[in-house]
Amino acid sequence: MSHPHPGLSTPPSLPKRGLRIVGLGGLGEIGRNMTVFEYAGRLLIVDCGVLFPEPDQPGVDLILPDFSYLEGRLDQVEAVVLTHAHEDHIGAVPYLLRERPDITLVGSKLTLSLVKSKLAEHRLTPGVAQVGAGTRQSFGPFGCEFFAVNHSIPDALAVAIRTPAGVVLHTGDFKMDQLPLDGRLTDLGGFARLGAEGVDLLMSDSTNAEVPGIVTSEREITPVLAEIFAGAQQRIIVACFASHVHRVQQVLEVAAAHGRKVAFVGRSMVRNMGVARDLGYLQIPSVPGGLMVDMKEAEEMPPEMIVLISTGSQGEPMSALSRMAGRDHPIRIAEGDTVILASSLIPGNETAVFRVINELTRWGARVAHRENSLVHVSGHAPAGELLYVLNLVKPRNFMPVHGEWRHLRAHARLAGLTGVPETSIVLAEDGVVVDLVDGKASITGAVPCGYVYVDGLSVGEVTETSLKDRRILGEEGFVSIIIVVDSTTGKLAASPEIHARGSGIDDAAFSEVRPRIDEALAKAATEGINDAYQLGQLVRRTVGRWVNENYRRRPMIIPVVIEV
């Protein structure tokens, strides 16, 4: 899918002391965050994530940013700065590195460790530059300063980018939890200092711009978990993101306090928590006999003694939790089990998540989720905290990022309330080019920017036409018509063979349309039409009209013409 930009043409050449900003993802959507900064012919990329498919994109595994803007320019990329290790910020890195394997990846210790473990599966070993909060490092003409931000994964960073064109502050994903589990606060003092020095453009997380107030502290979840654990009679299954180290830490501590053993379920969960444990971000409570067990041990233990921490909080079809709900997993959900969905709903996943909840409930499980229990708090700053940052930084220009259109516009309104002039607020979507020149940010054009689909091992081969065909097949089924014609006269040499699958039409019913096909082909023969493609299209239209008239359906119609 491309993003049309009416009235926007290819941008002009960048002025000599101008900074160009091109969002290739994350603007107008939640996911595939990627922003390219250009100065003096050199490029810096911030984040490179994926978007997860929606139900109307059947068969698609992942959606990548469109790298076509970088074609022929990959040698100009100085580095890729990764703000944190969530999939919507790092998931597309392996696909970018396939294009140029030696691009330097920049990030915090945990971020780089999780990325490297992911890249190992793709047999990629990139160069890395580890940075931390409060550090500065230059990459070509881009001077970068990094700030600690609090998020739903440890070690997240905001980045200030300095060039002769001005200073840009990119917050990454953040919130302002004042009592974070790891004690790592968002560096508001650093933001204020930067604001006093002068910020020419603020690019800030917009996900919760419509939500009033301030964020609930992660610490408030622990007593809720403890209450649920105390009332659980059988097995407990906690589903969360495979990167949510803080939530896993809370579950481990509550499980230890209630005398339960813990097993990780799901390859990404096992991998990520192994990395977090090795680096000291995840602390395993010490209990007699050890707290952690593997899946085989967990299957054999009494249900009241075990806690499973699983992937699948978004209803992903092949995730561990979905397979448990469908009775396609060694762990069989039983009456009295407790399932905790400890994550937010990503927009578009509601149907899949509630389907899983219903299936779990069907087997007798009690399901605690954000709608009925305080088992999760968002990792993104609501409106009250976004206003705070806007007032601290006092940017000359503002550009909301990381959000759907409703989030971007809500954040833009907040900026206006804090005094940012309307003419200095830039609302852009994927592919729109924003230039910062002489202290003024403005839209100067657009570049091609579509969806790149990953389907199995193919990348970019699935098109919108392919997805349209898949939707038709899934919703309407197909009808195949095999006709044998005389290559000289174009007349039928045998009766048409018609079969239907998934269309709701019985094969016997097609006896009614065969005379129409005979008539249409006979007419074509008298007009001298004997080209196989033209005959196939004629049959397609004939059968299509008949199906629509009699069944009000539009299945995919596949004619096969055999010439003899």
Residue 460 has which token pair?
């970019």
| Tens-place pLDDT, residues 222-279 | 999 999 999 999 999 999 988 899 999 999 999 999 999 999 998 889 999 999 999 9
Q: What is the pLDDT of residue 144?
A: 98
**Residue written as token pair 């013409």:** 561
Cα separations in angstroms, 502 against 55, 346, 543: 19, 31, 16
Residues of the chain with pLDDT under 50: 1-2
Rounded distance between C-alpha atoms, residue 371 and residue 37, angstroms: 40
Question: What's the pLDDT score for residue 1?
Answer: 40
The pLDDT of residue 489: 67
- Domains of the chain are 19-213+378-455 (3.60.15.10), 218-368 (3.40.50.10710), 464-563 (3.10.20.580)
Q: How far apart are CA 90 and CA 96, in angstroms?
A: 10
Q: Which residues pair with 339 in a beta bridge?
A: 237, 367
Tokens of 203: 């690019």
Residue 219, beta-bridge partner list: none
78 DSSP 8-state letter: E
Which of 156, 164, 163 is closest to 205 using CA atoms? 156
Angle between helices 267-279 and 245-257 (to 10 degrees): 90
Dump strand ranges (E) for 15-156: 19-25, 34-39, 42-46, 62-64, 77-81, 105-107, 128-130, 136-139, 142-148
Phi first, then psi, for residue 22 (nearest 5°) are -130, 115
Taking the C-alpha atoms of residue 555 and residue 564, their distance in angstroms, rounded to an integer, is 28
- The answer to whether 446 touches 11, Cβ cutoff 8 Å, is yes
For residue 266, report the phi and psi dihedrals to the nearest 5 degrees. Answer: 110, 135
What is the pTM for the complete model shown? 0.85
Tell me whether residue 54 is exposed, middle or buried, using C-beta atoms within 10 angstroms of its C-beta: 0 to 12, 13 to 18, 19 or more.
middle
**pLDDT tens digits, residue range 159-179?**
999 999 999 999 999 999 999
End-to-end CA distance of the chain: 42
